[in-house]
Structure 1
Amino acid sequence: MKTIKKTLLGAALITASLSSHALAETKINALFMAQAAYSEADVRAMAEAFTKANPDIAVNLEFVPYEGLHDKTVLAQGSGGGYDVVLFDVIWPAEYAANNVLVDVSSKITDDMKKGVLPGAWTTVQYDAKYYGMPWILDTKYLFYNKEMLEKAGIKAPPKTWDELTEQAKIIKDKGLAQTPIAWSWSQAEAAICDYTTLVSAYGGEFLKDGKPAFAQGGGLDALKYMVTSYKSGLTNPNSKEFLEEDVRKVFQNGDAAFALNWTYMYNMANDPKDSKVAGKVGVVPAPGVAGGHDVSAVNGSMGLGVTSASKHPDEAWKFITFMTSQKVQNDYAKLSLPIWSSSYEDPAVTKGQEELIAAAKRSLAAMYPRPTTPTYQELSTALQQAIQESLLGQSSPEDALKTAADNSGL
């Protein structure tokens, strides 16, 4: 009888111990993007490594397309919870700060973090001199080109200006090497604003001046005029007006484009012989500049990870973020997204096999131009997206379209 009692007592103690462990486990929910840069499988692998190192924290991951990331975050916040960690674009901190979506983590940013992370990366998570997370994806758009096509066309070097891009595309088209040599992501979405911003930076334009729209003149107008001219010239793939970045990647790696503007991730994907017909022929340089103006052009397309103000587990959420943005994790996945840490660029494990990309990155990342910082960014972006579409389709002149966008920008 005593033996039975001891066995039962032992079993009860084990059960209590297991229950205690189960109760000690904290679950956090994290919202990520299901597309460019790190893939869903990569993010899951990173999270598994985190839970292995922190068995008392479980991470539930959710993935949505970029286009749904902002609204999903805001709607979850409005419902009083949902996510502890969210991925956010460089264009959202102003709005998120104004609406108390993210926690101000300025006190958690250490001196080592400040010194180790590239200065330009911090702009991703800052607003009004406060930090709202950690930069995670450091990115800009580059000009990719098909080395074989350029060689066959007798072109010795990729274009350094946007006018040269037009000239080279014409040579390639005239020689029958590509029917429409240039691919862009000009769908009525944020993708088009990123391409437009790249051109605005080349032409020295301004989005806002003294808080008011300034893009309807100067470099902002020149940028849209270039887009329209390129579209109407027959050198740009006509489907560009519906393309997102993934469409551009597929067209380029199928060998149907000589030039394409896209994010970092395309470099290694287009060089993968399993999926790409142009593997080994992919060249990459900074997006071109303008003669007599800027040598290169670049948009700040970086993204950060932040703790939501609705999180019931902010400490565990921050622990997860510091792991995901750590130099070791970033270096391990550097073939998909370049690290935020400056010393990583001296590490052969990071640079090997992508020396050409790193060389372009050193120039482009230093020239990243921001999209406007305003709490009403979504309204402004929507107005500009419409202006670009109307101009490309010939429904409005660039001048009139941008003037209407300025009137509808909410500023």
Structure 2
Amino acid sequence: MAPLRRRLAFAALASTCLIAASACSSDGGSSGGGDGRKTVKFWSMPYWIGQNDKVKQLVDEFNASQTKVNVELTQLEWKDGREKIKLAVAAGKGPDVWLMNNGLELDYLKSNTLASLDTLGYTPADLDKFLPLSRIDEYNGKMYGAPLYFDVDVMLYRTDILKEYGFDAPPRTWDELKSTAAAITTKSAAAGKKVSGWQFKGMDDHLNAINATWESFLCQAGGSLTTPDFKSSTQKSDAGKTAMNYMRSFYTDKISPVGTSALNGFISGEVAMFPFFQSVVGNVKAGGDKVAGKWAVAPMPTGPKSGCSMVGGHSLVANAKGGDLAAAGTFMRWLASPERSAQYMDFQAIFPYDPTKVDPAVKGTVEQKIAGDPNWTAIIEQLDRNTPDLVLQDRHAFQARWDAQKASVVAGVNGQSTVDKALQAIDDQVDQALANEK
């Protein structure tokens, strides 16, 4: 991904009317409205999974509660929303506040585009309420993103299928995962039912998912994405080979069929287990009677070194050159507050605050939601296994890495490439991007 300063040159050649309709009518930055309130421009994708209108409802609720700040929402699509924001910000026509993936993007941080939370009205006491995992939004000792929620890779499994083939509990280790999946695949094939015991999300119709899947298994094998100084890619390592050879064995041993949709197969009963962010639970529930009472969530099976997994989710960030940072901060502290983050748990988003440090009423709401869904036990166990390290590494050469992994991990796992060549290809592409960061 090119640095923002390079994008400025490109953006100057493009019509900002092609970026977003609102960018054509006014410059970026907060301004005063006709009623005397400060206007904050907020650009967001519909992060409330399953309900695209919920973000607008929240903004309307905020506006109704305020006398000094008014938020104007521009809702973008996931397919190109991030790129539109980048171009608009580079052209000086962007929003005051916008949605960004947890971990934040290095281009924004290195170009001093983002306002640190302490300049937006966050106090040390406010920052102390976040979980330690929120360090993924730190840069040079300061927080630049306010987490709305976290995602972590977990395992989903069909309780009915496992029970049918003699398993009363989900696998807890790599060895158990493979033996359980192999038994289901083999026995179902003999019975003419064609059930795949396991599918790696990303080896199917959602190619981008291979990034979260791969980085989870690499982490479990004890691997890293970069050296500690973030200057070199480290995927062609003993851990990388262990992880990729393990994943590859599911296809060479005919346990998993390449191309089978993990999610759709899970809903239809053609896939017994698969990994992905816990937020996919909403998609599973949409399967209705096909899945009702027939599935559950478990922590990821532990690998040779650990049971860690990829961390995702989203944060709010603010433009450091915005017209009114205080107004932007007022909105961010509201939308990313413990009260709102507790609501996000309705789409299985993970609460980013330490429950013991928030208002007792909010703590009670969080505890009630957890008690009402047994899957939260597994999700929280997985959350507790994870650290900020992998995400902080992933921030460097992010786009180059994810593009390289989409091609090379799939090729290495399905046999189109050797494991060594696949891992070397990732390192070569990422190293080139890392060199450009210096």
Instruction: Tell me which interval the TM-score lies in, with the shorter structure as reference length.
Output: 0.7 to 0.9
Aligned to 1:41: 53
Q: Do 2:102 and 2:137's aligned partners in 1 also have CA atoms closer than 8 Å? A: yes
Q: Do 1:327 and 1:341's aligned partners in 2 also have CA atoms closer than 8 Å? A: yes
Aligned to 1:148: 160
> Counterparts of 1:127 and 1:231 in 2: how far apart (Å)?
40
> Counterparts of 2:275 and 2:176 in 1: how far apart (Å)?
15
Cα 1:43–1:183 shift into 2, 3 Å: farther
> Counterparts of 1:158 and 1:252 in 2: how far apart (Å)?
15
> Counterparts of 2:33 and 2:40 in 1: how far apart (Å)?
16
Are residues 1:96 and 2:96 paired? Answer: no
Specify the code of the residue in structure 2 equivalent to 1:306: V
Are residues 1:203 and 2:193 paired? Answer: no
Aligned to 2:382: 364
Of residues 75, 95, 117 in structure 1, which corresponds to 2:130? 117
- Provide the identity percentage: 20
Are residues 1:322 and 2:333 paired? Answer: yes
Aligned to 1:4: none
Aligned to 1:236: 256
The farther-off stretch of 153-162 and 52-61 is 52-61
Question: How far has the Cα of 1:397 moved from its partner?
Answer: 0.7
Of residues 320, 327, 332 in structure 2, which corresponds to 1:309? 320
Question: How far has the Cα of 1:341 moved from its partner?
Answer: 1.9
Aligned to 2:421: 400
Q: Do 2:297 and 2:379's aligned partners in 1 also have CA atoms closer than 8 Å? A: no
Question: How far has the Cα of 1:135 moved from its partner?
Answer: 0.8
Q: Do 2:44 and 2:73's aligned partners in 1 also have CA atoms closer than 8 Å? A: no
* DSSP 3-state at the match of 2:151: coil
Of residues 344, 349, 357 in structure 1, which corresponds to 2:368? 349
> Counterparts of 2:394 and 2:184 in 1: how far apart (Å)?
39
Q: Do 1:95 and 1:376's aligned partners in 2 also have CA atoms closer than 8 Å? A: no
Of residues 276, 300, 318 in structure 2, which corresponds to 1:262? 276
Cα 1:141–1:236 shift into 2, 3 Å: same
Aligned to 1:179: 195
Question: How far has the Cα of 1:290 moved from its partner?
Answer: 2.0
Aligned to 1:11: none
Q: Do 1:178 and 1:258's aligned partners in 2 also have CA atoms closer than 8 Å? A: no
> Counterparts of 2:416 and 2:262 in 1: how far apart (Å)?
24
> Counterparts of 1:406 and 1:226 in 2: how far apart (Å)?
19
> Counterparts of 1:115 and 1:224 in 2: how far apart (Å)?
38
Question: How far has the Cα of 1:149 moved from its partner?
Answer: 0.7
Aligned to 1:13: none
* DSSP 3-state at the match of 1:297: coil
Question: How far has the Cα of 1:224 moved from its partner?
Answer: 1.9
Q: Do 1:81 and 1:311's aligned partners in 2 also have CA atoms closer than 8 Å? A: no
Aligned to 2:4: none
The structure with the largest alpha-carbon Rg is 1
Q: CA RMSD for the aligned pairs?
A: 2.6
Aligned to 2:233: 213
Are residues 1:287 and 2:287 paired? Answer: no
Specify the code of the residue in structure 2 equivalent to 1:383: A
* DSSP 3-state at the match of 1:388: helix
Question: How far has the Cα of 1:395 moved from its partner?
Answer: 2.8
1:5-20 alignment runs, 5 A limit: none
Aligned to 2:408: 387
- 1:340-398 Cα deviation digits (max 9, x unpaired): 122166644321321x3221133211222524245432223222322113223433211
> Counterparts of 2:340 and 2:99 in 1: how far apart (Å)?
17
Question: How far has the Cα of 1:405 moved from its partner?
Answer: 1.7
* DSSP 3-state at the match of 2:72: strand
Cα 1:34–1:229 shift into 2, 3 Å: farther
Specify the code of the residue in structure 2 equivalent to 1:317: A
Specify the code of the residue in structure 2 equivalent to 1:304: S
Q: Do 1:142 and 1:263's aligned partners in 2 also have CA atoms closer than 8 Å? A: yes
> Counterparts of 2:162 and 2:61 in 1: how far apart (Å)?
43
Specify the code of the residue in structure 1 equivalent to 2:424: K
Of residues 163, 177, 192 in structure 1, which corresponds to 2:175? 163
Are residues 1:77 and 2:71 paired? Answer: no
> Counterparts of 2:273 and 2:415 in 1: how far apart (Å)?
24
Q: Do 2:251 and 2:414's aligned partners in 1 also have CA atoms closer than 8 Å? A: no
Cα 1:331–1:100 shift into 2, 3 Å: same
